């Protein structure tokens, strides 16, 4: 049977009660994202190293990230189905618990020296990443039009803390892991296990009432003259939102994945330490661009509109690609391009996710959210794989111009999304 929320304090909660639950939910989800970011930052930072170590081939080093990406894609829809039937709390904790099993497989694979088992472990870890992606939608379950973009973006922003701190835990984790006899290069996964376990406990204890189940109750108990915005289904706007998010993700991943390789070639005259330093700084600034200004784009989406903010993101992505193409011989220009790339991804993802949520009826919302996460992950994975071939054929500058096609498509289709999203019911009730 589906999980249900307690009937107290009333069958139809008041606006003040809903607002209080929403504030608490955003804080809980934000803290959960910090813990999730710590877990996956520590996990993925060693993925390429472990893949190369166990396979004996550096060319296989990217398979760890690819396994996580496709694991994320293939678990997004099932986790969305769990959320629809049992609520966000069950869905988020299920994804994280499955990811813990994946961590155990990774550690076992290193101990046994078995490369296929390592990839299987990383594939299963993708379920945790799918849960992290779903958190942004959970932040919008009880939000109103006036705050939906802001609330969603706050949860996205919280990822910054874990994304920055996680990779820096590899050194201390290896020291602790070595002290208790863990296989080499697996010590940092101790932090992954602890952070994931804490996130699971946090959601189980603090995410009450469940925001999605409460939103469903709001829809079910709404009086006939006050229909929640979630019942105004706008499939064209929802499809555009899914496309815009996936295209922005594909653009970002395709260029970002090849940037370390390009910088290695660009700085071949430098020492290895100098090259790694340049790469590290560039990727760190890129990550900062992805997350730090997310609340700004969330507020912008609430103020000027979802599609307008998506177009701001496309403008930033276009600027990034042009900078990367025409400045491909300069490490400074490449770094600037990566920052702009992160900003464009942030604006498009925050605004697109907000548009998707409010353009979907309550019956279809979680299904479409799962489809969106599946699509963006698949596009990102394919983009990362294809980008290597494009880079080898026509170079970094050519890659940036080829990827521009995704930006152009998002801009050309924007009028469809804008027109479809304009019609709104008079009443703005939470739940959509």
Are the beta carbons of 322 and 407 closer than 8 angstroms?
Answer: no
Cis peptide before 9 (omega within 30 of 0): yes
For residue 243, how many C-alpha atoms fall within 13 Å in the half-sphere facing its CB? 19
Please tell me the predicted confidence (pLDDT) of residue 9. 42
Kindly indicate the confidence band of residue 419, based on its pLDDT and cuts at 50, 70 and 90. Answer: confident
Where is pLDDT greater, at 335 or 258?
335
Instruction: Check residue 79 and give its pLDDT.
Output: 96
- pLDDT tens per residue across span 64-120: 878 888 999 999 999 999 999 999 999 999 999 999 999 999 999 999 999 999 999
**Span 313-325, pLDDT tens digits:** 999 999 999 999 9
Are 401 and 198 in contact by the 8 Å Cβ rule? The answer is no
Ranked by mean pLDDT, the top range of 11-20, 49-58, 73-82, 264-273 is: 73-82
The per-residue pLDDT for range 223-282, each reduced to its tens digit, is 655 544 445 789 999 999 999 999 999 999 889 888 877 887 777 655 556 666 677 678
Regarding predicted confidence, which is higher, 232 or 54?
Answer: 54
CA distances 219 to 20, 215, 223, 429, Å, are 18, 6, 9, 9
CA distance 47 to 108: 14
Q: Average pLDDT of 333-357?
A: 95
Which pairs with CB-CB distance under 8 Å and at least 24 residues apart come from 272-281? 278/331, 281/335
Q: According to DSSP H, which parts of 229-271 are helical?
A: 235-266
- Among 76, 79, 75, 99, residue whose Cα is nearest residue 89: 79
**Count of CB atoms situated within 10 Å of the CB of 360:** 24
Q: Over the range 255-292, which residues count as b (16 or more CB within 10 Å of their CB) and which as e?
A: bbbbbbebbeebbeeeeeeebeebbeebbebbbbbbbb
Whole-number pLDDT of residue 267: 72
- pLDDT given at position 58: 62
Q: State which CATH number among 3.40.50.2000, 1.20.1250.20, 3.40.720.10, 3.40.640.10 fits the domain covering 15-221.
A: 1.20.1250.20
Same fold yes or no, 15-221 and 230-422: yes
Ranking 65-69, 305-309, 334-338 by mean pLDDT, the lowest is 65-69
Average pLDDT of the chain to the nearest whole number: 85
- From the centroid of its chain, how far is CA 9? 34
Q: Given this model, what pLDDT does residue 134 score?
A: 94
Cα–Cα distance for residue pair 304/406, rounded to 1 Å: 23
State the architecture of 230-422 in CATH terms: Up-down Bundle (1.20)
Cis peptide bond prior to 402, omega within 30° of 0:
no
**pLDDT tens, residue by residue, 160-206:** 777 667 666 667 777 887 788 888 777 778 888 888 899 999 999 99
For residues 432 and 145, give the distance between their C-alpha atoms in angstroms, rounded to a whole number: 9
pLDDT at position 270 is 59
Domain boundaries along the sequence of the chain: 15-221, 230-422
């Amino acid at each position: 049977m589906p999980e249900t929320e307690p009937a107290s304090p009333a069958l139809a909660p008041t606006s003040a009660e809903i607002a209080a639950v929403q504030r608490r939910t955003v804080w809980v989800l934000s803290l959960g994202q910090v813990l999730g970011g710590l877990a996956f930052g520590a996990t993925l930072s060693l993925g390429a190293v472990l893949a190369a170590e166990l396979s004996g081939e550096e060319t296989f080093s990217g398979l760890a990230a690819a396994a996580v990406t496709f694991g994320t894609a293939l678990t997004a829809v099932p986790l969305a189905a769990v959320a629809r039937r049992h609520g966000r709390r069950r869905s988020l904790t299920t994804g994280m618990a499955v990811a813990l099993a994946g961590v155990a497989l990774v550690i076992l694979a290193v101990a046994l020296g078995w490369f296929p088992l390592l990839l299987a472990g990383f594939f299963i870890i993708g379920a945790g990443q799918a849960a992290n992606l779903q958190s942004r939608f959970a932040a919008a379950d009880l939000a109103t039009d006036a705050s939906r973009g802001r609330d969603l973006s706050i949860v996205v922003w919280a990822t910054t803390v874990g994304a920055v701190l996680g990779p820096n835990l590899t050194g201390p984790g290896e020291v602790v892991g070595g002290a208790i006899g863990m296989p080499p290069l697996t010590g940092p996964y101790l932090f992954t296990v602890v952070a994931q376990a804490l996130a699971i406990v946090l959601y189980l204890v603090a995410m009450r009432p469940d925001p999605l189940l409460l939103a469903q109750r709001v829809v079910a108990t709404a009086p006939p003259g006050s229909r929640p915005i979630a019942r105004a289904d706008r499939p064209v706007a929802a499809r555009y939102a899914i496309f815009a998010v996936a295209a922005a993700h594909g653009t970002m991943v395709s260029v970002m994945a090849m940037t370390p390789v390009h910088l290695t070639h660009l700085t071949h005259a430098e020492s290895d330490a100098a090259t790694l330093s340049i790469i590290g700084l560039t990727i760190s600034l890129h990550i900062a661009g992805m997350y730090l200004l997310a609340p700004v784009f969330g507020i912008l989406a609430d103020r000027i509109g979802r599609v307008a903010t998506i177009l701001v993101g496309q403008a930033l992505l276009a600027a990034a690609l042009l900078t990367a193409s025409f400045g491909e011989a300069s490490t400074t220009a490449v770094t600037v391009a990566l920052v702009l790339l992160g900003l464009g991804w942030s604006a498009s993802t925050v605004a697109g996710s907000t548009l998707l949520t409010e353009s979907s009826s309550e019956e279809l919302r979680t299904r479409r959210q799962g489809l969106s996460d599946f699509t963006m992950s698949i596009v990102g994975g394919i983009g990362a794989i294809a980008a290597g071939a494009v880079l080898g054929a026509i170079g970094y500058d050519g890659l940036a111009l080829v990827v521009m096609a995704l930006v152009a498509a998002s801009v050309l289709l924007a009028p469809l999304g804008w027109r479809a999203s304009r019609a709104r019911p008079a009443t703005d009730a939470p739940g959509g």
